[in-house]
């Protein structure tokens, strides 16, 4: 993630949280709340770490000159304080790079929202923590008890020791650096024969079976043009009850249905632009291998799945997605966790090389990134303020202009769409197409839903 970062390609991720005022709060609640947050001037790991390099290798060291003013900002939206103004602010701030001379995170307390609401937007570099790790930290920060008070901000919240893997300070000598590189190489080489065999089988089968999702089957698409550093963010909530009814109707997982919905929405969006490729779009789906409750670092591999955008029938699309995901999981079934990491890295290495150098634009391993991150399943509060919604703000990359991240909260799935502002014209139309995709699946399965219209957090 550090190597991939460029001015037009920031590699940070973020979250937008929308809160209601506590029931007994005065109108100046957010102002007083912001003053309290400024008292938390001593961050905990990993928010107290900054980058340093030895022999070209990055390490985390404690920032001994930490200054909260560079990381926490209390801002107000311009009148009238609609969702439109909120997402305009998030889009602008998400376009800005983090300062590598300081710990790689920023947090914004945002007031001025209509309806006695406020928001918190927090971004951190992807090298600091992955999305699952960030979500677990965010969940631990909140409480199901609306009476609980004196809860710290994210940078000052210390995870319970039994669940926390604290980054260890390292004595960074040349010998230590070389030793660590040798250990890393030794770890990757373990089981390399099985890894190479699995990658070779993927190449071979993808050449013989047109329905097998292999590497470099992704077609050329407008989603894969060069991007700028300007971002556009839109979000919307959908009832998890509706999604689970579809899961039952199609004997599919939530992830299968989500991918099918995204495939349908992308098909309709590209048809409007008259830019739908004849071949199906391929998505990269990050999968967490994290087996504990630790925070920090990255334990993510990527599988490829067919979105069946070349198919008009929504039911058929679900079947293709299910088959594609099952094949991807089967490839890794007989590999250890270390081997899976190595397999993913080796299979995706040409794509990563293309992202870093741009030397082979036709080497397109996938067209879009779609992540599905589990969140809290009951109402949560922060100092008495009810969490109304959690919206992931993701990381588009060069030639990957759209990133869709889905987060579950209570009885809803929160869709967050982050895109390059120039490459994805009228990106807010994707929200309409997502709703249409759900309705098409319901009609195909003879389901009828009765639900309130969801609030659309779209930026026009």
**CB-based contact 25:384 (threshold 8 Å):** yes
160 versus 34: the higher-pLDDT residue is: 34
Active-site residue 126, yes or no?
yes
Structure tokens that stand for 374 in this block: 């589990």
The confidence score (pLDDT) of residue 453 equals: 46
| CB burial of residue 3 (10 Å; 0-12, 13-18, 19+) | exposed
Structure tokens that stand for 302 in this block: 């990527």
The confidence score (pLDDT) of residue 167 equals: 46
Q: Cβ–Cβ contacts within 10 Å for residue 273, how many?
A: 12
Res. 214: pLDDT tops 70: no
Report how far residue 413's alpha carbon sits from residue 317's, in angstroms, rounded to the nearest whole number: 20
The confidence score (pLDDT) of residue 159 equals: 75
The confidence score (pLDDT) of residue 164 equals: 45
Q: Cβ–Cβ contacts within 10 Å for residue 55, how many?
A: 12
167 versus 219: the higher-pLDDT residue is: 219
Whole-number average pLDDT of the chain: 84
Backbone dihedral region for residue 55 (phi beyond 0: left; psi -120 to 50: alpha; all else: beta): left
Helix, strand or coil for residue 391? strand
Res. 378: pLDDT tops 60: yes
The confidence score (pLDDT) of residue 88 equals: 93
Name the packing angle between helices 429-444 and 314-331 (round to 10°). Answer: 100
**CB-based contact 279:217 (threshold 8 Å):** yes
Q: Residues 6 or more apart from 63 whose CB is under 8 A from it?
A: 48, 49, 50, 102, 103
pLDDT band at 263 (very low <50, low <70, confident <90, very high): very high
Report how far residue 368's alpha carbon sits from residue 284's, in angstroms, rounded to the nearest whole number: 6
The confidence score (pLDDT) of residue 41 equals: 97
Q: Average the pLDDT over 133-139 and give the result.
A: 81
What are 74-101's pLDDT values in tens digits? 999 999 999 999 999 999 999 999 999 9
Phi/psi of residue 380, nearest 5 degrees: -125, 155
Res. 122: pLDDT tops 80: yes
pLDDT band at 237 (very low <50, low <70, confident <90, very high): very high
Q: Average the pLDDT over 65-70 and give the result.
A: 96
Residue carrying structure tokens 């299979």 = 347
Among 22-26, 208-212, 346-350, the range of highest mean pLDDT: 22-26
196 alpha carbon, distance to own chain's centre: 29
The confidence score (pLDDT) of residue 324 equals: 92
Report how far residue 69's alpha carbon sits from residue 38's, in angstroms, rounded to the nearest whole number: 8
Per annotation, catalytic residue among 12, 126, 412, 433: 126
The confidence score (pLDDT) of residue 459 equals: 46
Angle at Cα 393 formed by Cα 389 and Cα 394, nearest 5°?
Answer: 145
**CB-based contact 47:105 (threshold 8 Å):** yes
What are 276-323's pLDDT values in tens digits? 999 999 998 887 654 555 555 555 677 889 999 999 999 999 999 999
Q: Average the pLDDT over 329-345 and give the result.
A: 66
Q: Residues 6 or more apart from 202 whose CB is under 8 A from it?
A: 214, 215, 331, 347
Structure tokens that stand for 406 in this block: 């889905």
Look at 40-54, 105-119, 149-163, 408-422 and tell me which has the smallest mean pLDDT: 149-163
Q: What is the DSSP string of 194-210?
A: HHHHHHHHHHHHHHH-T
The residue among 152, 431, 144, 405 whose CA lies nearest residue 259 is 405
pLDDT band at 212 (very low <50, low <70, confident <90, very high): low
* H or E stretch covering 382: strand 381-382
Count of CA atoms in the C-beta half-sphere (13 A) of 227: 28
pLDDT band at 196 (very low <50, low <70, confident <90, very high): low
Report how far residue 386's alpha carbon sits from residue 408's, in angstroms, rounded to the nearest whole number: 16
pTM of the entire structure? 0.82
The confidence score (pLDDT) of residue 25 equals: 93
Res. 338: pLDDT tops 90: no
Q: What is the DSSP string of 15-48?
A: EEEEEEPPTT--TTHHHHHHHHHTT--S--TTTT
Q: What is the DSSP string of 129-173?
A: B-HHHHHHHHHHHSBS-TT---PPPGGGPPPPGGG--PPPP----
Res. 379: pLDDT tops 90: yes
The residue among 66, 37, 434 whose CA lies nearest residue 239 is 434
**Helix boundaries (H) for 153-312:** 174-189, 192-208, 240-250, 254-272
Name the packing angle between helices 337-357 and 192-208 (round to 10°). Answer: 60
Q: What is the DSSP string of 322-361?
A: HHHHHHHHHHTTTS-HHHHHHHHHHHHHHHHHHHHH-S-T
Res. 253: pLDDT tops 50: yes
The confidence score (pLDDT) of residue 131 equals: 76
The residue among 448, 450, 447, 449 whose CA lies nearest residue 249 is 447
């Amino acid at each position: 993630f550090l190597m991939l970062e460029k001015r037009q390609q920031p590699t940070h991720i973020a979250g937008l949280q929308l809160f209601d005022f506590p029931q007994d709060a005065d109108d100046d609640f957010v102002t007083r709340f912001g003053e309290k947050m400024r008292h938390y001037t001593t961050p905990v790991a990993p928010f107290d770490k900054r980058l340093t390099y030895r022999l070209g290798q990055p390490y985390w060291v404690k920032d001994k000159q930490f200054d909260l003013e560079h990381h926490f900002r209390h801002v107000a939206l311009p009148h009238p304080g609609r969702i439109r103004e909120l997402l305009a602010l998030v889009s602008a701030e998400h376009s800005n790079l983090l300062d590598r001379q300081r710990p790689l995170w920023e947090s914004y307390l945002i007031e001025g929202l209509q309806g006695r609401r406020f928001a918190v937007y927090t971004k951190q570099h992807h090298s600091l923590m992955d999305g699952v790790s960030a979500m677990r930290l965010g969940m631990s920060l909140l409480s199901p008890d609306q009476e609980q008070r004196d809860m710290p901000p994210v940078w000052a919240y210390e995870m319970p020791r039994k669940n926390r893997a604290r980054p260890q300070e390292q004595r960074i000598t040349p010998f230590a650096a070389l030793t660590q590189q040798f250990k890393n190489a030794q770890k990757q080489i373990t089981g390399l024969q099985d890894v190479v065999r699995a990658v070779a089988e993927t190449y071979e089968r993808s050449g013989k079976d047109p329905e097998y999702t292999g590497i470099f089957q992704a077609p050329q698409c407008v989603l894969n043009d060069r991007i700028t550093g300007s971002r556009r963010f839109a979000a919307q909530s959908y009832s998890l009850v509706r999604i689970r009814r579809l899961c039952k109707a199609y004997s599919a997982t939530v992830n299968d249905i989500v991918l099918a919905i995204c495939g349908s929405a992308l098909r309709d969006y590209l048809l409007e632009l008259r830019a739908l490729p004849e071949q199906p779009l391929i998505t990269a789906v990050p999968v967490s291998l994290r087996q504990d409750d630790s925070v920090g670092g990255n334990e993510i591999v990527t599988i490829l799945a067919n979105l069946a955008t070349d198919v008009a029938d929504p039911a058929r699309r679900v079947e293709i997605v299910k088959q594609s995901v099952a094949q991807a999981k089967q490839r890794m079934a007989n590999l250890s966790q270390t081997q899976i990491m190595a397999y993913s890295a080796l299979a995706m290495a040409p794509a990563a090389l293309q992202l870093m150098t741009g030397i082979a634009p036709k080497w397109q391993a996938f067209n879009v990134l779609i992540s599905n991150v589990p969140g809290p399943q009951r109402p949560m509060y922060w100092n008495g303020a009810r969490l109304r919604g959690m919206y992931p703000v993701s990381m588009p990359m060069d030639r990957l202009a759209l990133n869709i991240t889905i987060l579950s909260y209570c009885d809803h799935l929160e869709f967050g769409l982050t895109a390059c502002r120039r490459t994805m014209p009228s990106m807010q139309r994707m929200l309409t197409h997502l709703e249409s995709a759900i309705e098409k699946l319901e009609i195909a399965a003879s389901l009828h839903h009765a639900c309130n219209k969801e609030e659309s957090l779209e930026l026009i």
